[in-house]
Each structure stands twice: as structure tokens, then as C-alpha cells.
């Protein structure tokens, strides 16, 4: 994937989170404060506005991440923004991202989210979608699958991880204030992570 493809990914992610903003907001209304759809659609719209012309992949993601951090409210803004920025840093000056580099970027994004938010697996957050996404990506990479196949595996891993948040009790973020009452609901940040990774898979598929 070149810089233009990564810019297409950011635009596609903006489209899908905006199209699903009402669902994300309903999920957040159940266990949080009902703003996740609005936060993310605003954040990704700002990322689209900030996309540089003709820049390499890393610069595209750093610009997008920076815009999300500065324009998105809530816990998710800094987390998503940091994830994209870190992925961009990992890509460095490469003009073309191959399957191995995209995998390294995805893994570093997960690590940055965990460092910033201090969420572990099972805390009912976007981390519970990202960990299986990274695992599935690396497994596909180990089978020498194409970048597009690895990205699809990541999106499917995220889907399974998000579903698994339903019975979890939240230990991070606003949902943790609900204690036991946070169980039985899909985590909104895990749900939006699925959307964003499907956007990546769709662009990778060409
Ligand atoms: P806020 O809760 O501040 O209103 P959002 O509604 O936009 O922010 O985002 C909520 C989502 O952010 C949660 O569903 C969860 O996935 C994620 N989240 C919250 N806190 C953390 C954290 N410490 N680490 C990782 N993800 C988190
Ligand atoms: Mg919220
Ligand atoms: Mg909020």
C-alpha cells in the first residue's frame, strides 16, 4: 500500500464510522455517555481534512492521528489518534507498505493504545478487539498470506474479539463505573475498531 492507499483507508474509515455513528452512540448510551459515534465521526472527519497530498504512508497516518487527537472528545480520541500516529511512525519513510510492515504497524498501534490507556485483555475495551486482530494478522502473515488476506484476517479477528466483550465486566473507561451492570453489552470502542479494520481490509483488497 502506498500513501494514496493509506489516505483512502482514512477516508473509508471516516465513511464507515459516520454511517454507523447512531449504532456506536446507542452502544455507548447503554454503558457510557452516548457520544462514541459523534466523537469518532468528528475525529475521522478532522483526519480526512488533515490528509497531506502526495505524502508517504507514515506521514499520512501521523497527520491523521494528530488531527484525531486534537479534534476528538472522549477517551477514544487520544487512543485512536495515538494508534494511528504510532502506526505511522512504525512505517517511517517507506513509500510502500508491505504485509510485514503493516503487521508491525498494527502491533505497535496496539502497544501504544495499551501504554496510554493501561487496559489489559478482558477489561472490555477496544484492546479486546485489537489483540485478536493483531494475532490473526500475524498468523496469516506466518502462512505467507497476502497483505489483503492478512488485513481481512485482522478485521475478522477484531470481530470475534468485539463479540467476546459482551459478557465482560468493564474495568476501564466510563463503563467501569457501572460495575456488574456493564455486562451483557458490546463495548462501543471494540465495535468501532471492527469498522476501522474492515475499512483497512476493504482498501487493501483494492
Ligand atoms: P468517553 O467514554 O470518554 O465518552 P468514547 O465514548 O468516545 O469516550 O469511547 C469509549 C470507548 O473507549 C470504550 O468503549 C472503550 O473501548 C474505549 N476506552 C475507554 N477507556 C479506555 C482505556 N483506558 N483503554 C482502552 N480503551 C478505552
Ligand atoms: Mg462515550
Ligand atoms: Mg464522552
pLDDT at residue 73, as a whole number: 82
Full set of structural domains in the chain with CATH: 3-205 (1.25.40.340)
Residues with CB under 6 A from ligand 1: 28, 32-33, 35-36, 39, 74-76, 79, 113, 117-119, 125-127, 172-174, 187-190
Residues whose CB falls within 8 Å of the CB of residue 206, separated by 6 or more in sequence, listed in order: 148
pTM here is: 0.98
Low-confidence ranges of the chain (pLDDT < 50): none
For the segment 51-89, what is each residue's pLDDT rounded down to a tens digit?
Answer: 999 999 999 999 999 999 999 888 999 999 999 999 999
Amino acid at each position: 500500500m502506498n500513501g494514496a492507499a493509506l489516505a483512502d483507508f482514512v477516508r473509508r474509515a471516516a465513511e464507515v464510522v459516520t454511517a454507523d455513528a447512531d449504532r456506536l452512540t446507542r452502544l455507548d448510551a447503554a454503558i457510557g455517555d452516548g457520544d462514541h459515534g459523534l466523537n469518532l465521526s468528528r475525529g475521522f472527519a478532522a483526519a480526512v481534512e488533515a490528509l497531506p497530498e502526495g505524502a508517504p504512508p507514515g506521514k499520512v497516518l501521523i497527520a491523521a492521528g494528530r488531527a484525531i487527537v486534537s479534534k476528538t472528545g472522549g477517551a477514544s480520541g487520544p487512543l485512536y489518534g495515538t494508534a494511528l500516529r504510532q502506526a505511522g511512525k512504525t512505517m517511517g519513510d517507506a513509500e510502500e507498505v508491505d504485509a510485514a510492515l503493516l503487521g508491525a504497524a498494527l502491533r505497535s498501534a496496539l502497544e501504544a493504545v495499551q501504554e496510554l490507556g493501561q487496559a489489559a485483555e478482558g477489561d472490555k475495551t477496544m484492546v479486546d478487539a485489537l489483540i485478536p486482530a493483531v494475532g490473526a494478522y500475524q498468523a496469516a502473515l506466518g502462512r505467507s498470506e497476502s497483505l489483503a488476506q492478512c488485513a481481512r484476517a485482522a478485521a475478522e479477528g477484531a470481530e470475534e474479539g468485539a463479540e467476546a466483550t459482551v459478557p465482560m465486566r468493564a474495568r476501564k473507561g466510563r463503563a467501569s463505573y457501572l460495575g456488574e451492570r456493564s455486562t451483557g453489552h458490546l463495548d462501543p470502542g471494540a465495535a468501532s475498531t471492527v469498522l476501522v479494520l474492515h475499512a483497512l481490509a476493504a482498501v487493501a483488497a483494492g
